[in-house]
Amino acid sequence: MDLFDIIVSILGSTIRLSIPLLFTALAGLFTERAGVFDIGLEGKMLAAAFASACVAYVTGNAWLGLLGGIGVSILFSLIHGFASITNRGNQIVSGVALNFIAAGLTIVLGQAWFGQGGRTPQLPASGRFSPIILPGADAMRDVPVIGPIYANVISGNNILTYLAFLAVPLSWWVLYRTRFGLRLRAVGENPGAVDTAGISVTWLRYRAVIVAGFLCGFSGAYLSIAQSAAFIKDMSAGKGYIALAALIFAKWKPVPVMFACLLFGFLDAFANFMQGKAVPGIGEVPVQIFQALPYILTCVLLAGFIGIAHPPKAGGVPYTKER
């Protein structure tokens, strides 16, 4: 493989690895801009992945699988909302609890239903989102430079990938061009302003967590029925936390969120690529070093390289009027 092929191949997997991050980070964008911390993204994604795989296996229909994932993820969101919005509980505790529940429940239910140690059975082709070959991809393949990029990076992804990139401008538009977005951003900064303007803080925040559940449904489904052909236990593998880091790195803005997710996806792809390869001048480096790169980068970036990240002011604080 020459260098160019390597680059194309890394870019291709960058895209694939970024998608779950992107959906999840956008989900977090909606909750956190509304002033609700969402450490439970990981759990929602995992639960959605499991639900999607189950439904897709039973029905043999990928779209129904996606719907199942969205449904379960929204249910998790509502539990988070009930604990932290209605009952004003600690948002971090509620989120962490959901992560534990998702991790445990998916394995227990998976084992009980399918008896494969927490896996779900292999999905039939109809139960998966398969790659879509864009028109002209094959014809273009031989055009220098852009040909391979078009054929291997832009074309050949599944529908969820394209939806993820569509979700970025859409999120931006909702946040900055609609009444809902204006109110959502306001409630994350000063819920008192929203309340005294005659708008229900509770309902607004509920809508935000529901949107987040919806988006996490996509990321979960992507993991189990698009990227893979089954649910594997713990398959979210900390992506929810990385998405959260990307969100902070992007200072809670939709377009930077996309770039942050692509960056983390790239590091992941790069780590995979370096597996078992020698670094010139150093020799073979344990693969763990590369796998740790995204996390190290997260620490470094968050520790100050991005300047001060101002989170939504009311973030993490339940709205109470009576002390």
Partner 1 sequence: MSGLRIRKGKALSQHPAIELIGIDKSFGAVHANKNINLSVAKGTIHGIIGENGAGKSTLMSILYGFYQADRGEIRVDGQSVAIKDSQAAIGHGIGMVHQHFMLVENFSVLENIMLGAEGGQLLAKGRSGARAELKRLEDEYGLEVDPDAIIEDLPVGTQQRVEILKALYRGADILILDEPTGVLTPAEADHLFKVLKVLRDQGKTVILITHKLREIMAITDDVSVMRRGEMVATRKTAETTVEELAELMVGRRVLLRVEKGEPKVGKVLLSVRNLTVKDSRGVVMVDDVSFDVREGEIVGIAGVAGNGQSELLEAIAGIRKPASGEIQLDGKPIADADPARLRELGLAHIPEDRHHMGLVLKFEEYENAVLGYHRDKRYGSGALLDLNAIRADAAEKIEKYDIRPPNPRLKTANFSGGNQQKIVVAREIERDPKALIIGQPTRGVDIGAIEFIHRRIVEMRDAGKAILLVSVELDEIRSLSDRILVMFAGKVVGEKGADASEQTLGLMMAGIAA
Ligand X SMILES: Nc1ncnc2c1ncn2[C@@H]1O[C@H](COP(=O)(O)OP(=O)(O)O)[C@@H](O)[C@H]1O
CB 246 within 8 A of CB 258: no
CB 169 within 8 A of CB 294: no
How far is it, in rounded angstroms, from Cα 92 to Cα 224? Answer: 26
Q: Which one, 233 or 251, has the nearer CB to partner 1?
A: 251
Tallying the residues shown for the chain, one arrives at 323
Based on the shown chain and the rule CB under 8 A, indicate whether residue 195 belongs to the binding site for partner 1: yes
Q: Which one, 310 or 321, has the nearer CB to ligand X?
A: 321
- Other Cβ atoms less than 10 A from the Cβ of 111: the count is 14
Based on the shown chain and the rule CB under 6 A, indicate whether residue 323 belongs to the binding site for ligand X: yes
- Figure out which of the listed residues 100, 200, 277, 289 binds partner 1, where binding follows CB under 8 A: 200
Q: Collapsing DSSP states into helix, strand and coil, what is residue 106? A: helix
Based on the shown chain and the rule CB under 8 A, indicate whether residue 199 belongs to the binding site for partner 1: yes
Q: Collapsing DSSP states into helix, strand and coil, what is residue 104? A: helix
Distance in Å, CB of 31 to partner 1, minimum: 18
Based on the shown chain and the rule CB under 6 A, indicate whether residue 196 belongs to the binding site for ligand X: no
CB 44 within 8 A of CB 59: no
Q: Collapsing DSSP states into helix, strand and coil, what is residue 157? A: strand
Query: What residues contact residue 196 under an 8 Å CB cut-off, 6+ apart?
Result: none
Report the residue closest to ligand X, judged by CB: 323
Q: Which one, 288 or 320, has the nearer CB to ligand X?
A: 320
Binding residues among 121-180 for partner 1 as defined by CB under 8 A: 177-180
* Residue 197 binding partner per list ligand X, partner 1, none, with a CB distance cut-off of 5 to 8 Å that depends on partner kind: partner 1
Q: Collapsing DSSP states into helix, strand and coil, what is residue 279? A: strand
Please work out the total of residues on this chain that contact partner 1, with binding judged by CB under 8 A: 24
Distance in Å, CB of 320 to ligand X, minimum: 8
Q: How far is CA 209 from CA 26, 95, 118, 213, 214, in A?
A: 12, 12, 28, 6, 9
Q: Which one, 165 or 319, has the nearer CB to ligand X?
A: 319
Binding residues among 292-321 for ligand X as defined by CB under 6 A: 321
Q: Which residue has the tokens 């929810």?
A: 240
* Residue 92 binding partner per list partner 1, ligand X, none, with a CB distance cut-off of 5 to 8 Å that depends on partner kind: none
Distance in Å, CB of 188 to partner 1, minimum: 9
Backbone angles phi, psi at 178, to 5 degrees: -115, 160
- Figure out which of the listed residues 121, 192, 256, 311 binds partner 1, where binding follows CB under 8 A: 192
How far is it, in rounded angstroms, from Cα 2 to Cα 160? Answer: 30
* Residue 185 binding partner per list partner 1, ligand X, none, with a CB distance cut-off of 5 to 8 Å that depends on partner kind: partner 1
Q: Which one, 142 or 322, has the nearer CB to ligand X?
A: 322
How far is it, in rounded angstroms, from Cα 190 to Cα 293? Answer: 37
Binding residues among 297-316 for partner 1 as defined by CB under 8 A: 313
The residue ranges that bind ligand X (CB under 6 A) are: 321-323
The residue ranges that bind partner 1 (CB under 8 A) are: 177-183, 185-186, 189-190, 192-200, 313, 321-323
